[in-house]
Structure 1
Amino acid sequence: MLTFLGDQVLGRDVCVYSGSVIDVFARVGVGEQATRSTLTRMVNRGLLRRQREGRRMYFGLTEHSEAVLRDGERRIWQTGAVNRHWDGTWTLLGFSLPESWQRQRHDLRSKLTWSGFGPLFSGLWIAPGEVDVADLVGELGLSAHVKVFRAHADAGMDIGAMIEETWELPELADRYESFVRRWQPWETRAPQADEALAQRLLLQAEWLRVIRRDPRLPVKHLPDDWPAEQAEKTFRGVHERLTPLAREAARRAIEVVAVNE
Protein backbone atom coordinates (compact mmCIF):
# COMPACT_ATOMS: atom_id res chain seq x y z
CA MET A 1 0.00 0.00 0.00
CA LEU A 2 2.81 2.42 0.82
CA THR A 3 4.52 1.57 -2.46
CA PHE A 4 1.32 2.33 -4.38
CA LEU A 5 0.57 5.60 -2.59
CA GLY A 6 4.20 6.69 -2.76
CA ASP A 7 4.14 6.13 -6.49
CA GLN A 8 0.94 8.13 -6.96
CA VAL A 9 1.04 10.94 -4.40
CA LEU A 10 4.54 11.41 -2.92
CA GLY A 11 5.55 15.02 -3.51
CA ARG A 12 2.20 15.94 -5.11
CA ASP A 13 0.04 17.14 -2.14
CA VAL A 14 -2.91 15.02 -3.25
CA CYS A 15 -5.02 12.21 -1.81
CA VAL A 16 -6.30 9.15 -3.70
CA TYR A 17 -9.95 8.06 -3.84
CA SER A 18 -10.52 4.80 -1.96
CA GLY A 19 -12.36 3.35 -4.96
CA SER A 20 -9.25 3.86 -7.09
CA VAL A 21 -7.12 2.07 -4.51
CA ILE A 22 -9.59 -0.85 -4.42
CA ASP A 23 -9.60 -1.05 -8.23
CA VAL A 24 -5.81 -1.14 -8.55
CA PHE A 25 -5.38 -3.71 -5.78
CA ALA A 26 -8.05 -5.91 -7.37
CA ARG A 27 -5.78 -6.05 -10.44
CA VAL A 28 -3.06 -7.70 -8.32
CA GLY A 29 -5.47 -10.15 -6.69
CA VAL A 30 -6.26 -8.34 -3.43
CA GLY A 31 -9.94 -8.32 -2.43
CA GLU A 32 -11.92 -5.20 -1.51
CA GLN A 33 -12.30 -6.13 2.16
CA ALA A 34 -8.57 -6.75 2.58
CA THR A 35 -7.78 -3.42 0.92
CA ARG A 36 -10.25 -1.50 3.10
CA SER A 37 -8.90 -3.19 6.25
CA THR A 38 -5.34 -2.28 5.29
CA LEU A 39 -6.29 1.36 4.73
CA THR A 40 -7.98 1.49 8.15
CA ARG A 41 -5.03 -0.13 9.94
CA MET A 42 -2.59 2.26 8.31
CA VAL A 43 -4.67 5.27 9.35
CA ASN A 44 -4.73 3.95 12.92
CA ARG A 45 -0.94 3.54 12.86
CA GLY A 46 -0.38 7.10 11.63
CA LEU A 47 0.82 6.03 8.19
CA LEU A 48 -2.14 7.45 6.25
CA ARG A 49 -4.50 10.40 6.57
CA ARG A 50 -8.21 10.36 5.64
CA GLN A 51 -9.96 13.17 3.79
CA ARG A 52 -13.70 13.20 3.07
CA GLU A 53 -15.05 14.92 -0.04
CA GLY A 54 -18.85 14.67 -0.07
CA ARG A 55 -19.67 10.96 0.22
CA ARG A 56 -16.23 9.85 -0.95
CA MET A 57 -13.19 9.03 1.16
CA TYR A 58 -9.66 9.84 0.03
CA PHE A 59 -6.32 8.77 1.51
CA GLY A 60 -2.97 10.53 1.60
CA LEU A 61 0.40 10.37 3.28
CA THR A 62 1.45 11.55 6.73
CA GLU A 63 4.84 12.91 7.79
CA HIS A 64 5.74 9.45 9.04
CA SER A 65 4.85 7.61 5.84
CA GLU A 66 6.58 10.26 3.70
CA ALA A 67 9.79 9.67 5.67
CA VAL A 68 9.48 5.90 5.15
CA LEU A 69 8.95 6.38 1.41
CA ARG A 70 11.84 8.83 1.04
CA ASP A 71 14.07 6.24 2.68
CA GLY A 72 12.80 3.66 0.20
CA GLU A 73 13.54 6.00 -2.69
CA ARG A 74 17.11 6.43 -1.49
CA ARG A 75 17.57 2.68 -1.17
CA ILE A 76 16.24 2.04 -4.68
CA TRP A 77 17.69 4.89 -6.73
CA GLN A 78 20.73 6.18 -4.82
CA THR A 79 22.43 3.60 -2.60
CA GLY A 80 21.32 0.67 -4.76
CA ALA A 81 21.82 -3.03 -4.12
CA VAL A 82 25.57 -3.27 -4.75
CA ASN A 83 28.06 -1.75 -2.28
CA ARG A 84 31.13 -1.04 -4.43
CA HIS A 85 32.49 1.96 -2.50
CA TRP A 86 32.92 0.66 1.04
CA ASP A 87 35.77 2.47 2.81
CA GLY A 88 36.60 -0.28 5.32
CA THR A 89 34.58 1.25 8.18
CA TRP A 90 32.32 -0.86 10.39
CA THR A 91 29.74 0.23 12.96
CA LEU A 92 29.86 -1.87 16.14
CA LEU A 93 26.95 -1.83 18.57
CA GLY A 94 27.18 -3.55 21.94
CA PHE A 95 24.26 -3.94 24.33
CA SER A 96 23.58 -5.49 27.71
CA LEU A 97 19.95 -5.79 28.81
CA PRO A 98 18.45 -7.30 31.98
CA GLU A 99 17.48 -10.95 31.51
CA SER A 100 13.80 -10.10 32.09
CA TRP A 101 13.73 -7.64 29.15
CA GLN A 102 12.79 -10.23 26.54
CA ARG A 103 10.52 -7.91 24.57
CA GLN A 104 13.06 -5.08 24.47
CA ARG A 105 15.78 -7.50 23.40
CA HIS A 106 13.58 -8.84 20.59
CA ASP A 107 12.63 -5.32 19.41
CA LEU A 108 16.27 -4.19 19.41
CA ARG A 109 17.46 -7.21 17.45
CA SER A 110 14.63 -6.79 14.92
CA LYS A 111 15.46 -3.13 14.33
CA LEU A 112 19.19 -3.85 14.11
CA THR A 113 18.56 -6.53 11.48
CA TRP A 114 16.36 -4.07 9.54
CA SER A 115 19.20 -1.51 9.70
CA GLY A 116 21.76 -3.91 8.19
CA PHE A 117 23.39 -5.25 11.35
CA GLY A 118 24.37 -8.87 11.95
CA PRO A 119 25.25 -10.60 15.24
CA LEU A 120 29.03 -10.79 15.55
CA PHE A 121 28.46 -12.22 19.05
CA SER A 122 25.29 -12.37 21.15
CA GLY A 123 25.55 -8.83 22.52
CA LEU A 124 27.80 -7.34 19.83
CA TRP A 125 26.36 -6.50 16.42
CA ILE A 126 28.13 -5.16 13.34
CA ALA A 127 27.18 -3.34 10.12
CA PRO A 128 29.25 -2.12 7.16
CA GLY A 129 29.84 1.62 6.91
CA GLU A 130 28.77 4.35 9.30
CA VAL A 131 25.23 3.62 10.47
CA ASP A 132 23.43 6.23 12.57
CA VAL A 133 21.50 4.32 15.23
CA ALA A 134 20.68 7.22 17.58
CA ASP A 135 17.01 7.40 16.54
CA LEU A 136 16.63 3.62 16.61
CA VAL A 137 18.05 3.30 20.12
CA GLY A 138 16.25 6.39 21.40
CA GLU A 139 12.90 5.17 20.08
CA LEU A 140 13.27 1.98 22.12
CA GLY A 141 14.41 3.89 25.22
CA LEU A 142 17.65 1.90 25.42
CA SER A 143 20.30 4.63 25.14
CA ALA A 144 21.72 3.82 28.57
CA HIS A 145 22.18 0.15 27.63
CA VAL A 146 23.86 0.54 24.23
CA LYS A 147 27.40 1.50 23.19
CA VAL A 148 28.30 2.36 19.58
CA PHE A 149 31.75 2.47 17.96
CA ARG A 150 33.30 2.97 14.52
CA ALA A 151 36.02 0.45 13.73
CA HIS A 152 38.36 -1.02 11.11
CA ALA A 153 39.36 -4.68 10.92
CA ASP A 154 42.90 -5.75 11.76
CA ALA A 155 45.10 -6.46 8.73
CA GLY A 156 45.02 -10.20 9.43
CA MET A 157 41.25 -10.42 9.72
CA ASP A 158 39.43 -12.67 7.22
CA ILE A 159 36.50 -10.37 6.48
CA GLY A 160 34.93 -12.77 3.99
CA ALA A 161 34.77 -15.52 6.59
CA MET A 162 33.38 -13.12 9.19
CA ILE A 163 30.61 -12.07 6.78
CA GLU A 164 29.67 -15.68 6.09
CA GLU A 165 29.45 -16.39 9.83
CA THR A 166 27.44 -13.27 10.64
CA TRP A 167 24.89 -13.01 7.81
CA GLU A 168 22.79 -15.65 6.05
CA LEU A 169 24.31 -15.19 2.60
CA PRO A 170 22.58 -18.18 0.92
CA GLU A 171 19.18 -16.87 2.00
CA LEU A 172 19.96 -13.37 0.75
CA ALA A 173 21.33 -14.68 -2.56
CA ASP A 174 18.23 -16.82 -3.01
CA ARG A 175 15.99 -13.75 -2.69
CA TYR A 176 17.92 -11.99 -5.47
CA GLU A 177 17.90 -15.08 -7.69
CA SER A 178 14.16 -15.58 -7.15
CA PHE A 179 13.57 -11.95 -8.11
CA VAL A 180 15.50 -12.41 -11.37
CA ARG A 181 13.59 -15.60 -12.22
CA ARG A 182 10.29 -13.87 -11.53
CA TRP A 183 10.92 -10.66 -13.46
CA GLN A 184 13.48 -11.30 -16.19
CA PRO A 185 10.80 -12.47 -18.68
CA TRP A 186 9.19 -9.03 -18.42
CA GLU A 187 12.28 -7.44 -19.97
CA THR A 188 11.01 -8.58 -23.36
CA ARG A 189 7.22 -8.75 -22.83
CA ALA A 190 4.88 -6.13 -24.29
CA PRO A 191 2.17 -5.61 -21.67
CA GLN A 192 -1.08 -3.67 -22.03
CA ALA A 193 -1.36 -0.40 -20.08
CA ASP A 194 -3.71 -1.76 -17.40
CA GLU A 195 -1.51 -4.81 -16.91
CA ALA A 196 1.57 -2.57 -16.68
CA LEU A 197 0.05 -0.57 -13.80
CA ALA A 198 -0.47 -3.70 -11.70
CA GLN A 199 2.85 -5.30 -12.59
CA ARG A 200 4.82 -2.12 -11.88
CA LEU A 201 3.28 -1.98 -8.41
CA LEU A 202 4.27 -5.59 -7.74
CA LEU A 203 7.75 -5.04 -9.18
CA GLN A 204 8.49 -2.06 -6.93
CA ALA A 205 7.05 -3.65 -3.80
CA GLU A 206 8.96 -6.91 -4.31
CA TRP A 207 12.25 -5.14 -5.07
CA LEU A 208 11.92 -2.96 -1.99
CA ARG A 209 11.31 -6.03 0.18
CA VAL A 210 14.48 -7.64 -1.20
CA ILE A 211 16.84 -4.69 -0.81
CA ARG A 212 15.52 -3.61 2.59
CA ARG A 213 16.62 -6.97 3.95
CA ASP A 214 20.08 -6.58 2.40
CA PRO A 215 22.78 -5.13 4.72
CA ARG A 216 24.68 -3.95 1.61
CA LEU A 217 27.82 -5.89 2.42
CA PRO A 218 30.97 -4.83 0.54
CA VAL A 219 30.90 -6.61 -2.81
CA LYS A 220 34.67 -7.26 -2.80
CA HIS A 221 34.17 -9.60 0.16
CA LEU A 222 31.21 -11.48 -1.34
CA PRO A 223 31.26 -14.51 -3.67
CA ASP A 224 32.24 -13.76 -7.27
CA ASP A 225 28.81 -14.81 -8.54
CA TRP A 226 26.89 -12.61 -6.10
CA PRO A 227 23.46 -12.07 -7.79
CA ALA A 228 22.58 -8.56 -6.55
CA GLU A 229 23.98 -6.79 -9.63
CA GLN A 230 21.96 -8.92 -12.07
CA ALA A 231 18.84 -8.47 -9.95
CA GLU A 232 19.26 -4.70 -9.90
CA LYS A 233 19.77 -4.67 -13.67
CA THR A 234 16.57 -6.67 -14.10
CA PHE A 235 14.62 -4.35 -11.81
CA ARG A 236 15.74 -1.21 -13.63
CA GLY A 237 15.12 -2.70 -17.07
CA VAL A 238 11.61 -3.90 -16.29
CA HIS A 239 10.77 -0.69 -14.42
CA GLU A 240 11.79 1.39 -17.42
CA ARG A 241 9.73 -0.82 -19.72
CA LEU A 242 6.56 -0.70 -17.60
CA THR A 243 6.61 2.94 -16.46
CA PRO A 244 5.22 4.79 -19.55
CA LEU A 245 2.28 2.39 -19.88
CA ALA A 246 1.66 2.33 -16.12
CA ARG A 247 1.49 6.12 -16.00
CA GLU A 248 -0.97 6.14 -18.89
CA ALA A 249 -3.20 3.65 -17.05
CA ALA A 250 -2.92 5.60 -13.79
CA ARG A 251 -4.17 8.79 -15.45
CA ARG A 252 -7.33 6.93 -16.49
CA ALA A 253 -7.89 4.81 -13.38
CA ILE A 254 -6.80 6.87 -10.36
CA GLU A 255 -8.83 9.80 -9.05
CA VAL A 256 -7.08 12.31 -6.76
CA VAL A 257 -7.99 15.53 -4.96
CA ALA A 258 -5.82 18.26 -3.48
CA VAL A 259 -4.88 17.89 0.18
CA ASN A 260 -6.98 19.98 2.55
CA GLU A 261 -4.73 21.63 5.14
Structure 2
Amino acid sequence: MATLDTASEVRPQSLMLSFLGIHVLNQGIAVFSGSVIDVFARVAVSEEAVRSTLGRMVKRELLTRYRSGRRVYFGLTPRSTAVLKDGEHRVWRRGAVNADWDGTWTMIGFSLPESWRSRRHDLRSRLVWGGFGPLQNGLWVAPGHVDVPALVGDLDLDDHLRVFTARTAEPTEADQVVHAAFDVPAIAARYHAFLDRWDHEAPLPEAVDDLARQLLLHTEWLQLVRQDPRLPTGHLPADWPAIRAEHAFHRLAGVYDRSAGRIAASVLDTLRV
Protein backbone atom coordinates (compact mmCIF):
# COMPACT_ATOMS: atom_id res chain seq x y z
CA MET A 1 0.00 0.00 0.00
CA ALA A 2 1.18 3.54 -0.70
CA THR A 3 2.88 5.41 2.09
CA LEU A 4 4.20 8.91 2.49
CA ASP A 5 7.61 7.44 1.63
CA THR A 6 6.33 7.61 -1.94
CA ALA A 7 7.15 11.33 -1.86
CA SER A 8 10.82 10.57 -1.22
CA GLU A 9 10.94 8.49 -4.42
CA VAL A 10 10.26 11.48 -6.69
CA ARG A 11 12.09 14.76 -7.18
CA PRO A 12 10.52 17.89 -5.69
CA GLN A 13 10.39 19.38 -9.19
CA SER A 14 8.19 16.49 -10.35
CA LEU A 15 5.83 17.15 -7.45
CA MET A 16 5.96 20.87 -8.25
CA LEU A 17 5.00 20.28 -11.88
CA SER A 18 2.05 18.16 -10.78
CA PHE A 19 0.94 20.86 -8.36
CA LEU A 20 1.23 23.55 -11.03
CA GLY A 21 -0.57 21.43 -13.60
CA ILE A 22 -3.52 20.79 -11.29
CA HIS A 23 -3.88 24.11 -9.48
CA VAL A 24 -2.21 26.82 -11.59
CA LEU A 25 -2.36 25.86 -15.29
CA ASN A 26 -5.16 27.68 -17.16
CA GLN A 27 -6.05 29.67 -14.02
CA GLY A 28 -4.27 32.95 -14.86
CA ILE A 29 -2.70 33.12 -11.39
CA ALA A 30 0.62 33.14 -9.58
CA VAL A 31 0.98 31.52 -6.14
CA PHE A 32 2.63 32.88 -3.00
CA SER A 33 5.74 30.93 -2.06
CA GLY A 34 4.63 30.60 1.56
CA SER A 35 1.40 28.88 0.59
CA VAL A 36 3.29 26.52 -1.74
CA ILE A 37 5.46 25.60 1.25
CA ASP A 38 2.27 24.82 3.22
CA VAL A 39 1.08 22.51 0.45
CA PHE A 40 4.38 20.66 0.16
CA ALA A 41 4.67 20.14 3.90
CA ARG A 42 1.70 17.80 3.44
CA VAL A 43 3.92 15.44 1.42
CA ALA A 44 6.96 15.78 3.68
CA VAL A 45 8.93 18.16 1.42
CA SER A 46 10.88 20.71 3.47
CA GLU A 47 10.68 24.47 3.16
CA GLU A 48 14.32 24.52 2.07
CA ALA A 49 13.63 22.01 -0.71
CA VAL A 50 10.60 23.98 -1.91
CA ARG A 51 12.50 27.28 -2.03
CA SER A 52 15.42 25.61 -3.81
CA THR A 53 13.09 24.03 -6.36
CA LEU A 54 11.30 27.31 -7.05
CA GLY A 55 14.64 29.08 -7.52
CA ARG A 56 15.97 26.44 -9.93
CA MET A 57 12.76 26.55 -11.94
CA VAL A 58 13.06 30.32 -12.28
CA LYS A 59 16.63 29.90 -13.58
CA ARG A 60 15.40 27.32 -16.09
CA GLU A 61 12.64 29.70 -17.23
CA LEU A 62 9.93 27.38 -15.95
CA LEU A 63 8.64 29.96 -13.46
CA THR A 64 8.63 33.72 -13.20
CA ARG A 65 8.49 35.88 -10.06
CA TYR A 66 5.90 38.53 -9.22
CA ARG A 67 5.99 40.83 -6.21
CA SER A 68 3.04 42.21 -4.32
CA GLY A 69 4.12 44.19 -1.28
CA ARG A 70 6.62 42.05 0.57
CA ARG A 71 5.33 38.80 -0.85
CA VAL A 72 6.82 36.88 -3.77
CA TYR A 73 4.52 34.96 -6.09
CA PHE A 74 5.44 32.43 -8.77
CA GLY A 75 3.66 32.07 -12.08
CA LEU A 76 4.01 30.01 -15.23
CA THR A 77 6.11 30.86 -18.27
CA PRO A 78 5.49 29.85 -21.89
CA ARG A 79 8.02 27.06 -21.40
CA SER A 80 6.37 25.59 -18.30
CA THR A 81 2.93 26.01 -19.85
CA ALA A 82 4.06 23.88 -22.81
CA VAL A 83 5.48 21.21 -20.47
CA LEU A 84 2.30 21.13 -18.39
CA LYS A 85 0.02 20.98 -21.41
CA ASP A 86 2.05 18.05 -22.71
CA GLY A 87 1.49 16.28 -19.41
CA GLU A 88 -2.20 17.14 -19.48
CA HIS A 89 -2.48 15.69 -22.98
CA ARG A 90 -0.67 12.46 -22.05
CA VAL A 91 -2.81 11.89 -18.96
CA TRP A 92 -6.28 12.97 -20.04
CA ARG A 93 -6.40 12.57 -23.82
CA ARG A 94 -3.64 10.27 -25.07
CA GLY A 95 -3.88 7.89 -22.14
CA ALA A 96 -1.76 4.87 -21.25
CA VAL A 97 -3.63 2.24 -23.28
CA ASN A 98 -3.08 1.93 -27.06
CA ALA A 99 -6.02 -0.16 -28.19
CA ASP A 100 -6.48 1.33 -31.69
CA TRP A 101 -3.01 1.00 -33.24
CA ASP A 102 -3.15 1.02 -37.05
CA GLY A 103 -0.06 -1.13 -37.58
CA THR A 104 2.34 1.66 -38.54
CA TRP A 105 5.69 2.44 -36.96
CA THR A 106 7.76 5.59 -36.96
CA MET A 107 11.40 4.64 -37.56
CA ILE A 108 14.49 6.78 -37.00
CA GLY A 109 17.93 5.80 -38.21
CA PHE A 110 20.92 7.83 -37.11
CA SER A 111 24.70 7.78 -37.10
CA LEU A 112 26.59 10.37 -35.08
CA PRO A 113 30.36 10.82 -34.75
CA GLU A 114 31.87 9.04 -31.75
CA SER A 115 32.99 12.39 -30.32
CA TRP A 116 29.36 13.59 -30.07
CA ARG A 117 28.61 11.70 -26.88
CA SER A 118 26.60 14.50 -25.31
CA ARG A 119 24.49 15.04 -28.42
CA ARG A 120 23.93 11.28 -28.76
CA HIS A 121 22.75 11.18 -25.14
CA ASP A 122 20.38 14.11 -25.76
CA LEU A 123 18.97 12.44 -28.87
CA ARG A 124 18.40 9.11 -27.14
CA SER A 125 16.74 10.83 -24.19
CA ARG A 126 14.36 12.64 -26.54
CA LEU A 127 13.59 9.42 -28.38
CA VAL A 128 12.70 7.61 -25.15
CA TRP A 129 10.54 10.61 -24.18
CA GLY A 130 8.78 10.28 -27.55
CA GLY A 131 8.01 6.58 -27.10
CA PHE A 132 10.86 5.11 -29.16
CA GLY A 133 12.85 1.98 -28.38
CA PRO A 134 16.11 0.72 -29.93
CA LEU A 135 15.39 -2.04 -32.45
CA GLN A 136 19.06 -2.40 -33.34
CA ASN A 137 22.17 -0.24 -33.40
CA GLY A 138 21.24 3.17 -34.80
CA LEU A 139 17.63 2.22 -35.56
CA TRP A 140 14.81 3.20 -33.19
CA VAL A 141 11.07 2.60 -33.57
CA ALA A 142 7.84 3.87 -32.00
CA PRO A 143 4.28 2.64 -32.59
CA GLY A 144 2.10 4.99 -34.61
CA HIS A 145 2.94 8.43 -35.96
CA VAL A 146 5.40 10.59 -34.03
CA ASP A 147 6.06 14.23 -34.91
CA VAL A 148 9.84 13.85 -35.09
CA PRO A 149 10.66 17.48 -35.96
CA ALA A 150 8.73 18.63 -32.88
CA LEU A 151 10.52 16.03 -30.78
CA VAL A 152 14.15 16.55 -31.82
CA GLY A 153 14.18 19.49 -34.24
CA ASP A 154 15.97 21.83 -31.85
CA LEU A 155 18.92 19.43 -31.52
CA ASP A 156 20.09 20.46 -35.00
CA LEU A 157 20.74 16.88 -36.14
CA ASP A 158 18.56 16.78 -39.26
CA ASP A 159 21.50 15.89 -41.53
CA HIS A 160 22.24 12.84 -39.38
CA LEU A 161 18.70 11.43 -39.12
CA ARG A 162 16.61 9.34 -41.48
CA VAL A 163 12.91 9.15 -40.59
CA PHE A 164 10.37 6.69 -42.04
CA THR A 165 6.81 5.55 -41.53
CA ALA A 166 6.71 1.78 -42.00
CA ARG A 167 4.85 -1.49 -41.51
CA THR A 168 6.32 -4.87 -40.78
CA ALA A 169 6.54 -7.42 -43.60
CA GLU A 170 7.33 -11.12 -43.61
CA PRO A 171 9.25 -12.64 -42.00
CA THR A 172 9.15 -9.87 -39.37
CA GLU A 173 6.13 -9.77 -37.04
CA ALA A 174 4.94 -6.85 -34.92
CA ASP A 175 5.32 -9.01 -31.81
CA GLN A 176 9.02 -9.39 -32.59
CA VAL A 177 9.46 -5.64 -32.88
CA VAL A 178 7.61 -4.97 -29.63
CA HIS A 179 9.71 -7.40 -27.62
CA ALA A 180 13.03 -6.60 -29.33
CA ALA A 181 12.84 -2.81 -28.99
CA PHE A 182 11.09 -2.48 -25.61
CA ASP A 183 11.53 -4.00 -22.15
CA VAL A 184 7.95 -5.20 -21.81
CA PRO A 185 8.41 -6.89 -18.39
CA ALA A 186 9.93 -3.70 -16.95
CA ILE A 187 7.03 -1.59 -18.24
CA ALA A 188 4.54 -4.05 -16.76
CA ALA A 189 6.41 -4.08 -13.42
CA ARG A 190 6.05 -0.31 -13.11
CA TYR A 191 2.30 -0.56 -13.57
CA HIS A 192 2.07 -3.42 -11.07
CA ALA A 193 3.97 -1.28 -8.54
CA PHE A 194 1.48 1.55 -9.09
CA LEU A 195 -1.43 -0.84 -8.55
CA ASP A 196 0.15 -2.20 -5.37
CA ARG A 197 0.32 1.33 -3.99
CA TRP A 198 -2.94 2.80 -5.24
CA ASP A 199 -5.54 0.20 -6.22
CA HIS A 200 -7.34 0.26 -2.87
CA GLU A 201 -10.56 1.79 -1.65
CA ALA A 202 -8.69 4.22 0.61
CA PRO A 203 -4.96 4.34 -0.18
CA LEU A 204 -2.48 6.39 1.83
CA PRO A 205 -4.60 6.55 5.03
CA GLU A 206 -1.78 8.27 6.95
CA ALA A 207 -1.70 11.27 4.57
CA VAL A 208 -2.77 14.61 6.01
CA ASP A 209 -5.61 15.10 3.54
CA ASP A 210 -6.80 14.56 -0.02
CA LEU A 211 -4.61 17.39 -1.33
CA ALA A 212 -1.55 15.35 -0.35
CA ARG A 213 -3.02 12.21 -1.88
CA GLN A 214 -3.90 14.05 -5.07
CA LEU A 215 -0.40 15.46 -5.45
CA LEU A 216 1.29 12.09 -4.93
CA LEU A 217 -1.15 10.24 -7.18
CA HIS A 218 -0.80 12.63 -10.10
CA THR A 219 2.97 12.82 -9.80
CA GLU A 220 3.43 9.07 -9.84
CA TRP A 221 0.96 8.55 -12.67
CA LEU A 222 2.48 11.24 -14.87
CA GLN A 223 5.95 9.80 -14.39
CA LEU A 224 4.56 6.40 -15.30
CA VAL A 225 2.86 7.45 -18.54
CA ARG A 226 5.87 9.51 -19.59
CA GLN A 227 7.99 6.36 -19.38
CA ASP A 228 5.45 4.30 -21.31
CA PRO A 229 5.86 3.98 -25.12
CA ARG A 230 2.16 2.99 -25.37
CA LEU A 231 2.76 -0.34 -27.03
CA PRO A 232 -0.26 -1.73 -28.91
CA THR A 233 -2.34 -3.82 -26.53
CA GLY A 234 -3.01 -6.37 -29.28
CA HIS A 235 0.63 -7.41 -28.97
CA LEU A 236 0.76 -7.45 -25.17
CA PRO A 237 -0.55 -9.93 -22.58
CA ALA A 238 -4.33 -9.96 -22.24
CA ASP A 239 -4.05 -8.84 -18.61
CA TRP A 240 -1.81 -5.87 -19.46
CA PRO A 241 -1.63 -3.96 -16.14
CA ALA A 242 -1.80 -0.50 -17.70
CA ILE A 243 -5.50 -1.06 -18.34
CA ARG A 244 -6.35 -1.63 -14.68
CA ALA A 245 -3.86 1.02 -13.54
CA GLU A 246 -5.45 3.68 -15.73
CA HIS A 247 -8.90 2.82 -14.35
CA ALA A 248 -7.52 3.11 -10.80
CA PHE A 249 -5.93 6.49 -11.55
CA HIS A 250 -9.10 7.96 -13.05
CA ARG A 251 -11.22 6.66 -10.18
CA LEU A 252 -8.96 8.15 -7.51
CA ALA A 253 -8.40 11.39 -9.39
CA GLY A 254 -12.16 11.86 -9.39
CA VAL A 255 -12.39 11.03 -5.70
CA TYR A 256 -9.75 13.61 -4.77
CA ASP A 257 -10.63 16.36 -7.24
CA ARG A 258 -13.34 18.22 -5.33
CA SER A 259 -12.02 17.82 -1.79
CA ALA A 260 -8.43 18.65 -2.80
CA GLY A 261 -9.67 21.69 -4.70
CA ARG A 262 -11.45 22.99 -1.61
CA ILE A 263 -8.35 22.51 0.52
CA ALA A 264 -6.12 24.21 -2.06
CA ALA A 265 -8.51 27.17 -2.26
CA SER A 266 -8.27 27.60 1.51
CA VAL A 267 -4.47 27.30 1.60
CA LEU A 268 -3.22 29.06 -1.52
CA ASP A 269 -2.64 32.79 -1.64
CA THR A 270 -2.88 33.73 -5.32
CA LEU A 271 -2.30 36.76 -7.51
CA ARG A 272 -4.08 37.40 -10.81
CA VAL A 273 -1.54 37.71 -13.63
After TM superposition, the score normalised by the length of structure 2 is: 0.91
Shift of the 91–254 alpha-carbon distance from structure 1 to 2, 3 Å rule, reads same
Percentage of pairs with the same residue: 53
C-alpha separation in 2, matches of 1:9 and 1:105: 35
Cα drift, residue 79 of structure 1: 1.1
Query: What is the aligned counterpart of 1:23 among 23, 38, 43?
Result: 38
Pairing 1:63–2:78 present? yes
Quote the residue 1:227 is aligned against: 241
Quote the residue 1:12 is aligned against: 27
C-alpha separation in 2, matches of 1:81 and 1:189: 21
Quote the residue 1:135 is aligned against: 150
Cα drift, residue 191 of structure 1: 6.8
Cα drift, residue 136 of structure 1: 2.9
C-alpha separation in 1, matches of 2:208 and 2:20: 17
C-alpha separation in 2, matches of 1:37 and 1:72: 23
Quote the residue 1:96 is aligned against: 111
Quote the residue 2:215 is aligned against: 201
C-alpha separation in 2, matches of 1:112 and 1:250: 36
- Confirm or deny: 8 A CA contact 2:133 2:182 kept in the other structure: yes
Quote the residue 1:241 is aligned against: 255
Shift of the 120–193 alpha-carbon distance from structure 1 to 2, 3 Å rule, reads closer
**Number of equivalenced pairs:** 258
After TM superposition, the score normalised by the length of structure 1 is: 0.95
Query: What is the aligned counterpart of 1:163 among 165, 169, 178?
Result: 178
Q: How big is the alpha-carbon RMSD for the aligned residues of Structure 1 and Structure 2?
A: 1.6
- Please list every run of 5 or more consecutive structure 1 residues that lacks an aligned counterpart in the other structure: none
Quote the residue 1:85 is aligned against: 100
C-alpha separation in 1, matches of 2:80 and 2:162: 29
Quote the residue 2:13 is aligned against: none
Q: Which amino acid aligns with 1:54?
A: G
C-alpha separation in 1, matches of 2:244 and 2:117: 40
Cα drift, residue 36 of structure 1: 0.3
Cα drift, residue 39 of structure 1: 0.3
Cα drift, residue 158 of structure 1: 2.1
Shift of the 190–138 alpha-carbon distance from structure 1 to 2, 3 Å rule, reads closer
Q: Which amino acid aligns with 1:204?
A: H
Pairing 1:107–2:122 present? yes
Cα drift, residue 155 of structure 1: 4.6
Quote the residue 1:178 is aligned against: 193
- Confirm or deny: 8 A CA contact 2:207 2:213 kept in the other structure: no
C-alpha separation in 2, matches of 1:40 and 1:66: 17
- Confirm or deny: 8 A CA contact 1:193 1:249 kept in the other structure: no
